[in-house]
Amino acid sequence: MNTYYNPEDLKKFGNIAEFEKNLANKFFNYYGEVFKEGALTAREKSLIALAVAHAVQCPYCIDAYTVDALEKGCDEAQMMEAVHVTAAIRGGASLVHSVQMMNKAKEITM
Amino acid sequence: MGESIKSLHSRHSELANGYFQLKVLSNNSLSNHHEVNFTEKLRESKLFPLKPTQLEIFQINVGKMCNQVCKHCHVDAGPDRKEIMTKETMLLCLDAIKKSGAHTVDLTGGAPEMNPHFRWFIQEISKLSINKIIVRCNLTIILANKKYHDLPDFFKAHTIEVVSSLPYFTAGRTDAQRGDGVFEKSIKALQMLNEVGYGIKDSGLIINLVYNPSGAFLPPAQHALELDFKTKLKANYNIDFNSLFAITNLPISRFLDYLLESKNYESYMEKLSNAYNPVAAANVMCRNTISIGWDGAIYDCDFNQMLDLKVASSTNHISQFHIEELQNRNIVVNQHCFGCTAGAGSSCGGTIS
């Protein structure tokens, strides 16, 4: 079955260098640096990546960072809480704009 | 309630047979990808044929009987397993330990404590010039029957180093792998071990825990996970322990069954072979360990034992134990060995690189 998303394509991520090597190399070097243990632990970064993966709704990233979070020692409850953070920020981002709606409504109504 | 787990043996599964497991592991048709051969990997790392280093650890599997039936068990242990080491074989082991030059004796099972000669055997090993005796205790055995309640005192009396599995610091993950109620009993048993001094600073009594993934993924970094376990177990249950060993699940026996049933086999094998680490390969435990089966047969490791891959030596039974000949052998390897060489590597003592 043809779909827009093929799980096998995730393994081919590195192949983006085929069309533009220089920028791809720079990106992957940067990517590797970002996920190294630093002021944040590798596990904290993995949970952030998992939450962002849900925000940008990237199936490749969700697959990759579900496995990565488990391999960093996270459990299911921690992973689901991370996704609730995504949901709270996404939901909150919609709701906080309602202040603008309220402002406008008040501006033009008696 | 989780599903009840039965041994492959009691289910009359083909996977109960080591030869059949090896057939599955070498079956290229299972994979769409070009199968990477472990022997070839070792050759590339200039480690083939794999040779023993100085023998340090004399590991004895005293039987397959166990009070638990864990989902990932590489021994296919359980209450239905009757294979138990006899006292006669134990006497041969005592003699071989003396000749071996090993500094550590590592007792495993099943639940080794269920062997009726277990305590006698420990007492006899204690009389030998051995630095360390390890017992791989599943924790719940301590609470399984009144006759086992004094095991913490017995371990203490012989300064046994206890190594126990606890897949996670929560009940859900632990029980999913080891059976319903195992987490609660394991916590109680750890508290009993702490009470007699195990894991307590300066007591000289060591209790190490073993983490292994509850599924088809690799273990986390050992040190980071150990800190987590220490914090959570102390805060939630006032439990102390010494070290955490992060161990990779090898694709054999019940874990192989899980991989096949859950359709994770191919991706897991690919993951293991992609994560091949030559540094870990140089430090695999079969190089400094010898493994004795319940019937006295000699193996390179406990995993080869479960696949019935005896040592490639004319002396492959404890009754013929000959250390010089064994040290000259080539270690038997197969596709399951990718489990010990993936990432930071894996052994009965945790990561190896």
Cβ atoms of B300 and B321 within 8 Å: the answer is: no
pLDDT value, residue B251: 97
Joined tokens for residue B203: 């007591």
Task: Tell me whether residue A53 is in a domain.
Answer: yes
The CA distance from B160 to the nearest CA of chain A, in Å, is: 29
Distances in Å between the Cα of B264 and the Cα atoms of B1, B8, B28, B215, B224 are 24, 18, 15, 9, 26
In a domain, A26, yes or no: no
Query: So what's the ipTM on this one?
Result: 0.81
Q: For residue B165, give the DSSP letter.
A: E
pLDDT of residue B353: 82
Every domain of chain B and the residues it spans: 14-341
pLDDT bin (cut points 50, 70, 90) of residue A1 is low
Which pLDDT value is given to residue B199? Answer: 98
Q: How far apart are CA A26 and CA A31, in angstroms?
A: 9
- Whether A73 is in a domain gets the answer yes
- For residues B253 and B299, give the distance between their C-alpha atoms in angstroms, rounded to a whole number: 17
CB contact under 8 A, B173 and A75: yes
Yes or no, beta carbons of A42 and B221 under 8 Å apart: yes
Query: Which pLDDT belongs to residue B118?
Result: 98
Domain CATH for A45: 1.20.1290.10
Substitution target in B217, B270, B271 with the highest count of A β-carbons within 10 Å is: B217
pLDDT (tens digit, 0 to 9) for every residue of chain B, 353 residues total? 445 789 999 999 999 999 999 999 998 554 445 568 999 999 999 999 999 999 999 999 999 999 999 999 999 999 999 999 999 999 999 999 999 999 999 999 999 999 999 999 999 999 999 999 999 999 999 999 999 999 999 999 999 999 999 999 999 999 999 999 999 999 999 999 999 999 999 999 999 999 999 999 999 999 999 999 999 999 999 999 999 999 999 999 999 999 999 999 999 999 999 999 999 999 999 999 999 999 999 999 999 999 999 999 999 999 999 999 999 999 999 999 999 999 999 999 988 88
Test A71 with B215 for CB contact under 8 angstroms. no
DSSP H/E element including B292: strand B289-292
Q: Which amino acid is at A8?
A: E
In this predicted model, which residue has the larger pLDDT, A3 or B24?
B24
How many other CB atoms are there within 10 angstroms of residue B353's CB atom? 14
pLDDT the model gives residue B36 = 85
Of A73, A76, A77, nearest to B220 by CB-CB distance is A73
- Interval A12-39: pLDDT, tens: 999 999 999 999 999 999 999 999 999 9
Q: Strand order in B289-292's β-sheet?
A: B244-246, B207-211, B161-165, B132-136, B104-108, B57-61, B289-292, B298-299
Q: Is the pLDDT of residue A40 over 80?
A: yes
Residue A71 inside a domain? The answer is yes
Task: Tell me which residue range forms the domain holding A56.
Answer: 40-108
Q: Each residue of A42-93: pLDDT tens digit?
A: 999 999 999 999 999 999 999 999 999 999 999 999 999 999 999 999 999 9
Fold observed for domain B14-341: TIM Barrel (3.20.20)
Nearest by CB to A43, from B173, B215, B224: name it: B224
From residue A25, how far is each of A9, B23, B103, B200 by CA, in Å?
A: 19, 41, 50, 50
Q: Which residues contact A11 (CB under 8 A, 6 or more apart)?
A: none
Q: Residue A100's pLDDT is what?
A: 97
The Cα angle at residue B18 between residues B14 and B20, in degrees rounded to 5: 45
What is the pLDDT at residue B5?
83
Q: How far apart are CA B191 and CA B146, in angstroms?
A: 17
DSSP string, chain A: ---S--GGGGGGGGGGGGT-HHHHHHHHHHHHHHTSSSSS-HHHHHHHHHHHHHHTT-HHHHHHHHHHHHHTT--HHHHHHHHHHHHHHHHHHHHHTHHHHHHHHHHH--
CB-based contact (8 Å) between A44 and chain B?
no
Q: How many domains does chain A have?
A: 1
* Predicted pLDDT at B168: 94
A77 contact B CB<8A: yes
Per the CB < 8 Å rule, is B172 touching A71?
no
Q: Which of B172, B215, B228 sits opposite A73 (nearest CB)?
A: B228
Q: In this complex, do B217 and A75 lie within 8 Å of one another by their Cβ atoms?
A: no
